[in-house]
Amino acid sequence: MSQRVFITGFGIITSVGNNTAENFQSLVKGRCGYGELSILDTIHRTNLPSCEIKLHDDELKKLTGVGDGRGYTRTTLLGLIALQEAISSAGLTNKEVHSSGLLSATTTGGIREFERHFYDLLDLSKEGPFAQFADTANPGEHCERMADKVGIKGYIATISTACSSSANAIIQGAQLISNNLLDVAICGGSEALSKFTINGFNSLMIVDAEHCRPFDNTRMGLNLGEGAAYIVLESEASLSRRSKTPIAELKGYGNANDAFHQTASSPEGTGALHAMKQALDSANVSPLDIDYINAHGTATENNDLSEGNGIQSLFTEKVPYFSSTKPYTGHTLAAAGSIEAVYCLLGLQHQMIWPNLNFQHQMPELSITPVRKLMENVRLKHILSNSFGFGGNTSSLLLASA
Amino acid sequence: MITMEGKKCYINGIGIISPQRTFDNSEFLPEVRSYDNNILTSVTPDFKAYLSPVQLRRLSRMLRIGMTAATICLNDAGIKVPDGIVTATGYGFLEETEKFLKELLERNEKQLTPTFFMQGTYNALAGLVALSVKCTGYNNTYVSKGFAFENALQDCLLLLNADPGVNLLLGSYDESAAVQYKAGMRENQFKKEPVNSLDIFSNKTDGCIQGEGSAFFDLSGEPSASTWCSVEGIQMIYLPESPDELKETINSFLLKHDVQETNVDLVVSGMSGCKSKDQLLENLERVIFINTPRAYFKHLCGEYCTSTSFGLWLASSILKKQHIPETVKASNHTYPSRIETIFMINHYFNRNYSLILLKRKLEVRS
Are both B210 and B299 inside the same structural domain? no
> How far apart are the C-alpha atoms of A19 and B273, rounded to whole Å?
46
- Taking the CA of residue A188 and the nearest CA in chain B, the distance in Å comes to 14
Q: How many residues does chain A have?
A: 402
Residue A181 lies in a domain: yes
> Does residue A196 sit in the same domain as residue A77?
yes
Counting Cα atoms < 13 Å in the Cβ hemisphere of A226 gives: 28
Mutation for testing the A interface, residue in B122, B150, B169 having most A CBs under 10 Å: B122
Q: Is A247 domain-assigned?
A: no
Bigger pLDDT: B364 or A250? A250
Of the candidates B27, B69, B25, B26, the residue with the CA atom closest to the CA atom of residue B44: B69
Last residue of a domain, one of A218, A242, A266: A242
**Does the residue A142 lie in any domain?**
yes
For residue B154, the chain A residues in CB contact (below 8 A) are 176, 181
Q: Which domain holds residue B208?
A: 10-220
Averaged pLDDT of chain B: 95
Same domain, residue pair B33 and B180: yes
B150 inside domain:
yes
Count how many pairs of residues, chain A against chain B, have C-beta atoms within 8 Å. 205
* Chain A residues within 8 A of B104 when measuring between CB atoms: 115, 195-196, 199
* Boundary of a domain, candidates A187, A210, A242: A242
- Establish if B365 belongs to a structural domain: no
Nearest CA-CA partner of B186 in A134, A142, A125: A134
The Cα of B170 is separated from the nearest Cα of chain A by a number of Å equal to 15
Q: Would you call A200 and B113 a contact, using CB atoms and an 8 Å cutoff?
A: no
Do A233 and A276 lie in a common domain?
no
| Per-residue pLDDT at B363 | 60
**Tens digit of pLDDT for each residue in B63-82?**
999 999 999 999 999 999 99
B148 → closest Cβ in A140, A255, A392? A140
CB A254 within 8 A of CB B140: no
Search chain A and give the residue with CA nearest B162.
A1
The answer to whether the beta carbons of residues A279 and A320 sit under 8 Å apart is no
CB-closest option in B3, B131, B143 to A160? B143
Interchain proximity A140–B182, CB inside 8 Å: no
Number of domains present in the structure of chain A:
2
- Please indicate, yes or no, whether residues B330 and B241 belong to a single structural domain of this protein: yes
CA-closest candidate to residue A283, choices A247, A316, A254: A254
DSSP codes joined into one string, A204-239: TT-B-SSPP-TT-TT---B-BB-EEEEEEEEEHHHH
| Whether A74 and A126 share a structural domain | yes
**A202 and A350 fall within a common domain:** no
**Are residues B127 and A158, on separate chains, in Cβ contact within 8 Å?**
no
- From B200, B220, B240, give the residue that closes a domain: B220
Residues A234 and A258 in one domain: no
Same domain as A378, residue A259: yes
Query: Which residues in chain A touch residue B354, judged by CB atoms under 8 angstroms apart?
Result: none
Query: What's the pLDDT tens digit per position in B271-301?
Result: 999 999 999 999 999 999 999 999 999 999 9
Of B123, B183, B239, the CB nearest to A391: B123
Q: How far apart are the first and last CA of chain B?
A: 26
Are residues A276 and A231 located together in one domain of the fold?
Answer: no
Tell me which of B170, B190, B220 is where a domain ends: B220
Which of chain B's residues have a Cβ under 8 Å away from the Cβ of A168?
Answer: 140
Residue B3 lies inside a defined structural domain of this protein: no
Is A184 found in the same domain as A58?
yes
Rounded distance between C-alpha atoms, residue A153 and residue B245, angstroms = 13
CATH number for the domain spanning A76: value is 3.40.47.10
Question: Are residues B332 and B251 both part of a single domain?
Answer: yes
Which residue does chain A place closest to B92, by CA atoms?
A138
Based on the structure, what is the number of domains in chain B? 2
- Here the CATH number for the domain that contains residue B72 is 3.40.47.10
CB-CB under 8 Å, A138 with B145: yes
Which residue from A365, A13, A307, A346 is spatially nearest to A164, judged by alpha carbons?
A307
CA atoms within 13 A on the CB side of A284: 2
- Domain presence at residue A291: yes
Report the C-alpha gap between A169 and A230 in whole angstroms: 10
Treating both helix axes as pointing N-terminal to C-terminal, what angle do A165-178 and B148-162 enclose, rounded to 10 degrees?
A: 60
A49 and A83 assigned to the same domain: yes
Q: Are residues B46 and B150 in the same domain?
A: yes
* CB pair distance less than 8 Å for A141 and B145: yes
Record: contact A195-B104, CB cut-off 8 A: yes
Residue A122 is nearest to which of B126, B147, B182, comparing CB atoms? B182
| Last residue in a domain, options A217, A242, A267 | A242
Q: Are B345 and B357 a contacting pair, CB within 8 Å?
A: no
DSSP conformation letters of A68-116: T-TT--HHHHHHHHHHHHHHHHHT--HHHHHT-EEEEE-SSTTHHHHHH
Q: Is the pLDDT of residue B4 over 60?
A: no
Residues of chain A with Cβ-Cβ distance to B130 below 8 Å are 257, 259, 391-392
Per run of 10 residues, the mean pLDDT along chain A (length 402 residues) is: 90 98 98 98 97 98 96 98 98 98 97 96 95 94 98 98 97 98 98 98 97 98 98 97 97 96 90 97 97 98 97 96 98 98 98 98 98 98 96 96 94
Cα A134 to Cα A141: distance, rounded to the nearest angstrom: 11
**B45 domain-assigned:** yes
The pLDDT of residue A2: 75
Same domain membership, residue A310 and residue A227: no
pLDDT-derived band at B6, boundaries 50, 70, 90: low
Domain span including residue A104: 5-242
Q: What is the DSSP letter of B362?
A: P
Do residue B187 and residue A135 have CB atoms under 8 angstroms apart? yes
∠ CA A22-A26-A30, nearest 5°, is: 180
**Judgement on whether residues B282 and B309 belong to the same structural domain of the protein:** yes
Pairwise CA distance, residues A323 & A307, whole Å: 12
Interface test with A, best of B110, B119, B144, B189 (most A CBs within 10 A): B144
Residues A36 and A169 in one domain: yes
In a domain, A248, yes or no: no
Give the model's pLDDT for residue B362: 74
DSSP A269-291: -HHHHHHHHHHHHHHT--GGG--
- Listed in sequence order, the residues at least 6 apart from B152 whose beta carbon sits closer than 8 Å to its beta carbon are B86, B87, B88, B140, B141, B142, B170, B171, B172
A47 with A182, same domain: the answer is yes
Please check whether residues B160 and B242 belong to one and the same domain: no
Question: Does one domain contain both B54 and B136?
Answer: yes
Residue contact A159–B114, C-beta within 8 A: no
Question: Is position B366 within any domain?
Answer: no
Which residue among B185, B220, B255 closes a domain?
B220
Q: With DSSP H G I counted as helix, E B as strand and the rest as coil, what are the percentages for chain A, rounded to 5?
A: 40, 20, 40
* Residue B244 and residue B135 share a domain: no
Query: What is the value of ipTM here, to two decimals?
Result: 0.98
| B70 in a structural domain | yes
Q: Is B103 helix (H, G, I), strand (E, B) or coil?
A: helix
**Is B2 inside a domain boundary?**
no
Query: Does B364 reside within a domain?
Result: no
* Number of other CB atoms surrounding residue A239 within 10 Å: 18
In this structure, which amino acid lies at residue A10?
Answer: F
Residue B243 and residue B100 share a domain: no
- pLDDT value at residue B366: 39
Smallest CA–CA separation between B124 and chain A, in Å? Answer: 6
- Distance, CA of A68 to CA of A52 (rounded, Å): 23
